[in-house]
Amino acid sequence: MLVSAIVFLLLALPWTFAPDGQTHASWQQFLGRFHPLAVHLPIGLLLLVPVLEIGGRIRPSLREAAGFVLGCAAICSIGAVVLGILLAHGGGFAKEAVRGHMWAGLILTIAVITCTLLRSSWITGQSSFLYPVVLLAVLALTAWTGHQGGALTYGKTYLTEFAPTFIKQLGPHKTYPSVDPVSVYVTRIQPILDSNCITCHSGAKVKGGLQLDTYAHLMDGGSSDEDIVASHPEKSLLFTRITLPTDHPKLMPSEGKPPLTPKDIAWIRAWIQQGASPSSTTLVGMELKPAHTDDPIPQVGDYSGLTSQIEQIESTLGIKLDRVSARAADGLVLRTIGVSQKFSDADLAKLEPFAPYIVDAELGHTRVTDNSFAILAKMSHLRAIHLEETPIDGRNLKQLTSLSELRYLNLSSTKVTKQALNDITPLKTLQHIYTYNTPAAPVPVP
Ligand code: HEC
């Protein structure tokens, strides 16, 4: 009787506290935020149950303990699910992934309660198989629900990011057209995200499950699948979140960081509106520096003869040398994402044979140091270099002055000094240089 009342109340929760995308009372958010902490207790207890049941075959006292632990797990699960629903309702989470996780947690809790009931008939020998079967189902459901919760917090690719390729291919995965190093995305959009967002949305910090360091991550979205809805800025959560009133708690960048400038917002709006493309090089209504957009794109040499060497180095180093386009003479993009944390000067040096063909070096978050500028200088067709969050201090930056096509240089979150930057003033082609969060950053205007 009591049990059915509890189950009934639990089932009523998703309607009473529907996750409707609005934020609600702060007591709900306060309590709700204990959910990530609270869930670990029932998980631990549930895993203990089969251990105790099996151990109970040898020591009957353990079997008695199993019943007690299962009861505790049921009570804790109820607590965790209530906190979870308060978190979703109070915090304004409304997306499919959140709802899925909520229902999985609710069903899990009801299954645990069922398990405790079935156990008594199992002990008395009335039914010999129902309890073990439901217990197994509970364990499987625990793993699934936990995984969903993890994906909400750390991003959908958290578990598989460093997995061997064959494992990655098991799961659903999207592929995206390749990014053009001279596209609006690379020259205008990613730099805005690099300077304003990636401190909380890349690497170890994946707030809202959303990574903003690459095109693929951006399009994958976070706990919402609608961070970018191509052609519809007003439906894109990312756009909504950067255009909220300045005192709104959900405004991005959060924590009182300065909001994006109207110009940055206009660029993001136009880019989403016109298809959120990784390769288009113009946006209607937005003025790109005409002198450069009219430049014919310089051609690099033909690397088609090197295909097998390229494949080999890709698998040795775990990097990618993606072609910019189908034409070999358009060059290669070096990507280190996935191995960035171990990618070092020595690894970059191994790419020397391909140096003349690389037009974009994505070395952000890697371990490369100032010693790598010598090899970068050999990449004579480089147009973009990403060095954000690397250990460099810029002492060898002057070696880059030979790069006559360099347009984009990201040095954010490095130790680069003003002095070092002076060394590259001869680089006249450079249009975008990012020094956010470095000793060389301009003093913010109050
Ligand atoms: C100081 C840290 C911080 C910075 C900087 C920051 N964010 Fe966030 N962001 C968060 C946190 C925390 C969340 C998760 C809670 C929430 O949704 O409010 C989040 C969530 C989001 C979400 C919702 C993701 C989803 O799928 O639910 C979007 C979109 C977003 N941020 C965009 C941005 C953009 C764009 C920028 C840069 C202009 C930015 N953020 C900068 C902390 C930050």
Question: Does 413 lie in the same domain as 316?
Answer: yes
Domain annotation covers residue 267:
yes
Question: Does 128 lie in the same domain as 48?
Answer: yes
**Ligand 1: does its nearest atom lie under 6 Å from the Cβ of 197?**
yes
Question: Does 147 lie in the same domain as 13?
Answer: yes
Question: Does 327 lie in the same domain as 208?
Answer: no
Domain annotation covers residue 297:
no
* Spatial CB neighbours of 318, under 8 Å, sequence gap ≥ 6: 338, 339
pLDDT band at 59 (very low <50, low <70, confident <90, very high): very high
Going from the Cα of 200 to the center of ligand 1, the distance in angstroms, rounded, reads 7
**Ligand 1: does its nearest atom lie under 6 Å from the Cβ of 269?**
no
Question: Does 150 lie in the same domain as 7?
Answer: yes
**Ligand 1: does its nearest atom lie under 6 Å from the Cβ of 248?**
no
**Ligand 1: does its nearest atom lie under 6 Å from the Cβ of 237?**
yes
Cα 194 to its chain centre, rounded Å, is 14
Mean of pLDDT values over 151-160: 70
For residue 293, is pLDDT > 50? no
Question: Does 403 lie in the same domain as 310?
Answer: yes
**Ligand 1: does its nearest atom lie under 6 Å from the Cβ of 221?**
yes
Distance between CA 416 and CA 131 in Å, rounded? Answer: 63
**Ligand 1: does its nearest atom lie under 6 Å from the Cβ of 255?**
yes
Question: Does 320 lie in the same domain as 215?
Answer: no
For residues 336 and 362, the answer to whether their CB atoms sit within 8 Å is yes
Domain count for the chain: 3
Distance between CA 230 and CA 214 in Å, rounded? Answer: 16
For residue 114, is pLDDT > 50? yes
Going from the Cα of 240 to the center of ligand 1, the distance in angstroms, rounded, reads 11
Question: Does 373 lie in the same domain as 247?
Answer: no
Choosing from 228, 246, 281, the residue where a domain stops is 281
DSSP label of 185: I
pLDDT digits (tens, 9 = 90+) for 343-384: 999 999 999 999 999 999 999 999 999 999 999 999 999 999
Question: Using CA positions, which residue lies closest to atom 11 of ligand 1?
Answer: 207
What is the predicted pLDDT for the residue at 347? 96
> DSSP labels for 286-338?
----HHHHTSPPPP----GGGHHHHHHHHHHHT-EEEESSSSGGG-EEEE-TT
pLDDT band at 155 (very low <50, low <70, confident <90, very high): low
- Which residue type, as a one-letter code, is found at position 340? S
The values of phi and psi at residue 386, to 5°, are -105, 115
Choosing from 135, 154, 173, the residue where a domain stops is 154
Question: Does 147 lie in the same domain as 8?
Answer: yes
Going from the Cα of 227 to the center of ligand 1, the distance in angstroms, rounded, reads 10
pLDDT band at 24 (very low <50, low <70, confident <90, very high): confident
Going from the Cα of 43 to the center of ligand 1, the distance in angstroms, rounded, reads 29
For residues 386 and 365, the answer to whether their CB atoms sit within 8 Å is no
Domain annotation covers residue 212:
yes
**Ligand 1: does its nearest atom lie under 6 Å from the Cβ of 238?**
yes
The CATH number covering residue 363 comes to 3.80.10.10
Domain annotation covers residue 440:
no
Domain annotation covers residue 159:
no
Mean of pLDDT values over 91-95: 69
Choosing from 110, 138, 154, the residue where a domain stops is 154
pLDDT band at 317 (very low <50, low <70, confident <90, very high): very high
Domain annotation covers residue 294:
no
Question: Does 28 lie in the same domain as 147?
Answer: yes
Question: Using CA positions, which residue lies closest to atom 23 of ligand 1?
Answer: 208
Question: Does 310 lie in the same domain as 233?
Answer: no
pLDDT band at 258 (very low <50, low <70, confident <90, very high): confident
**Cross-strand partners of 206:** 201
**Cross-strand partners of 127:** none
What is the predicted pLDDT for the residue at 429? 84
Helix 2-16 vs helix 60-90: crossing angle, to nearest 10 = 30
Atom of ligand 1 nearest to the CA of 227: 29
Mean per-residue pLDDT of the chain: 87
Question: What range does the domain containing 86 cover?
Answer: 2-154
Distance between CA 98 and CA 224 in Å, rounded? Answer: 8
Question: Does 137 lie in the same domain as 57?
Answer: yes
Of 97-111, 269-283, 284-298, where does mean pLDDT reach its minimum?
A: 284-298
**Ligand 1: does its nearest atom lie under 6 Å from the Cβ of 45?**
no
For residue 444, is pLDDT > 60? no
DSSP label of 163: S
Domain annotation covers residue 177:
no
Domain annotation covers residue 363:
yes
Of 58-62, 246-250, 297-301, where does mean pLDDT reach its minimum?
A: 297-301
Rg (CA), the chain: 27
**Ligand 1: does its nearest atom lie under 6 Å from the Cβ of 253?**
yes
